[in-house]
Structure 1
Amino acid sequence: MDIVYTIWLRNVKRYIRSKSRIIGSLGMPIFLLLVLGFGLNSVVILPGIRHGYIGFIMPGIISMSVLFTSIFSGIQIIWDKQFGFLKETLVAPVSRTEIMLGQTVGGATAALIQGTIILMISLFLGLKISSVPGFTIAIIFMILIGLSFTAFGIAFASRMEDMHGFQLIMNFVVFPIFGLSGALFPIDSLPSWLRSLTMLDPLTYGVEGIRYGLLGTSQINPVLSFVILTAFTILMIILGACLFRKISI
């Protein structure tokens, strides 16, 4: 497990030292919180949501921050491949699965930090957490989102050589995932065909799990959300490990 810890530590240090990356990743979530949250808070009325529309979208924006940070962590694989670090790692007498797990946990940790920063900002903007256990539940779901989508990004990156191509494809993938997750709108109000698509989106269960933890309300049973998101996380880790073992340098 030493290799997992070493690669995790490397990724976390790279993230913490990259102040521009941290600050840049805050731009879109804060913009959506301020513009959509405060802009539509007095217009959009959601029954059963004590905090209004801004309270409703805060868990979704936190999920978005974790999603974007985690899924784009996969680009580190391509970066290391192009600059030779990955070759040096792969020829070492260690398991490729351990290398992949270190990358996954490192990317998920960075995503959790990013999501926690947005959560702290949300508290200053008026979010009131329902309970301390609820806060723990939200963190657990943030961890699951981070692990699953970091592994998802690594799985894609393992089959690609170009960083620009990876970014373009991930942008094409990540926005539908976020858009269909119910982060910005209640899924119960959707047409049946669109609600079916939303229920196929794994991020939906992460958003609803965080929403339950922070606000005490959810449109999906939180136990079901946990089971489905955990199963998706395990599946993505297995897929990522399989594709990473076949990586060529």
Structure 2
Amino acid sequence: MTATEVTERDVVRVVLPRGGAAHDLRAVRVVLHREFLRFVSDRTRMVSSLLQPVLWLFVMGTGLGSLVRDSIPGIDFRTFMFPGMIAMTVITTGMFSAASIVWDREFGFLREMLVAPVGRGAIVLGKCLGGALMATSQGVLILALAGLVGVPYAPGLLLTLLGEMFLAAFTITAFGTLLAARMKSMQSFFGVMQMAIMPMVFLSGAMFPLANLPSWLHVLTTVNPLTYAVDPMRHAVFGYLNVPPQVDAVLNPGIVWFGWRLPIGLELGVVAAFAVVLLGVAIAQFKRSE
């Protein structure tokens, strides 16, 4: 058959998948599923993410509790630290999930994802949702230890903490994704990650009360996004405890702006606002980076 004999019906047509919201949602599901498979296959990562918060809670918490036992009667200091250790688990797992972006870039898989006929936003959203779900599942394991530190297994409390964990996990994963958007090597990312994690954890009130702080330290805690995730969880825990009012005022003072204590709903709104902004910036970075 000559070239002139080739008719239109003999030409193989290339059909591109249709775009739209349904197509992007499928891409989100695929990326999320891949993140889940990677997470469950990496047992070393799962164990290491849990080990540090458990050590802080039961070793450091016990040691510090022996020093402040007389000043906080009626409550175990580890009970105070418990919400902070949940936050530590969430932030560690969320940031490690974002590190997979750098790994995919090094091995070329990220470029294959970015040239797929889907929106960059769908890929980033899938990454963030996957990281948030994995971080929340890790937080559930810490939540299972609640009874060992005097936190009741009340269904309302557990559901509240679960929702707050997911919101915090999504925000942290979006932040990690933003950092990973321009990183070219795992060494660089882990260096920046450690530089970001430790100040955020220490300045969130996870390990010390926010009451009676020096003014400079109070300012640093109020500009830390993680503070607005830890305080609602601690407020939920203390709502189910019988704590003397003077002790509650010291250990659970809330976040104060110019003498005004923020409502819990506003604190959660601040975390959600951070999540939306960080997700938007991360998507913009991905559109520019490749």
Q: Tell me the TM-score normalised to structure 1 length.
A: 0.93
The answer on whether the counterparts of 2:76 and 2:150 sit within 8 Å (CA) in structure 1 is no
- Look up the equivalent residue of 2:274 and give its one-letter code: F
* Of 81, 98, 107, the match for 2:131: 107
- Look up the equivalent residue of 2:226 and give its one-letter code: L
State whether structure 2 residue 196 is matched by structure 1 residue 173.
Answer: yes
- The equivalent residue for 2:13 is none
- The equivalent residue for 1:219 is 253
Are the structure 2 counterparts of residues 46 and 215 from structure 1 closer, same or farther at C-alpha, using a change threshold of 3 Å?
A: farther
The answer on whether the counterparts of 1:205 and 1:229 sit within 8 Å (CA) in structure 2 is yes
- The equivalent residue for 1:3 is 27
Inter-partner Cα distance in structure 2 for 1:229 and 1:90: 28
Aligned residues: 247
Please show how residues 192-211 of structure 1 align to structure 2 within 5 Å. Answer: 192-211=215-234
The answer on whether the counterparts of 1:138 and 1:210 sit within 8 Å (CA) in structure 2 is yes
The answer on whether the counterparts of 1:59 and 1:207 sit within 8 Å (CA) in structure 2 is yes
- The equivalent residue for 2:209 is 186
Are the structure 2 counterparts of residues 181 and 120 from structure 1 closer, same or farther at C-alpha, using a change threshold of 3 Å?
A: same
- The equivalent residue for 1:17 is 41
State whether structure 2 residue 96 is matched by structure 1 residue 62.
Answer: no
Inter-partner Cα distance in structure 1 for 2:193 and 2:65: 31
The Cα of 1:50 is off from its aligned counterpart by 4.7
Inter-partner Cα distance in structure 1 for 2:145 and 2:166: 19
Please show how residues 81-120 of structure 1 align to structure 2 within 5 Å. Answer: 81-120=105-144
Are the structure 2 counterparts of residues 245 and 48 from structure 1 closer, same or farther at C-alpha, using a change threshold of 3 Å?
A: farther
SS state of the match for residue 92, structure 1?
A: coil
Are the structure 2 counterparts of residues 116 and 49 from structure 1 closer, same or farther at C-alpha, using a change threshold of 3 Å?
A: farther
* Of 270, 280, 290, the match for 1:228: 270
Are the structure 2 counterparts of residues 49 and 17 from structure 1 closer, same or farther at C-alpha, using a change threshold of 3 Å?
A: farther
Deviations 1:185-215 (A, max 9, x none): 1101211221111011110111111112223
State whether structure 2 residue 260 is matched by structure 1 residue 237.
Answer: no
Inter-partner Cα distance in structure 2 for 1:101 and 1:50: 44
In structure 2, list runs of 5 or more residues that go unmatched.
Answer: 1-24, 240-247, 255-262
Q: Tell me the TM-score normalised to structure 2 length.
A: 0.80
SS state of the match for residue 67, structure 2?
A: coil
- Look up the equivalent residue of 2:108 and give its one-letter code: G
The answer on whether the counterparts of 1:130 and 1:215 sit within 8 Å (CA) in structure 2 is no
SS state of the match for residue 253, structure 2?
A: coil
SS state of the match for residue 51, structure 1?
A: coil
Inter-partner Cα distance in structure 1 for 2:39 and 2:150: 27
Structure having the higher helix fraction is: 1
The answer on whether the counterparts of 1:49 and 1:55 sit within 8 Å (CA) in structure 2 is no
Inter-partner Cα distance in structure 1 for 2:70 and 2:89: 23
- Look up the equivalent residue of 2:169 and give its one-letter code: G
* Of 16, 21, 38, the match for 2:62: 38
Inter-partner Cα distance in structure 2 for 1:49 and 1:106: 41
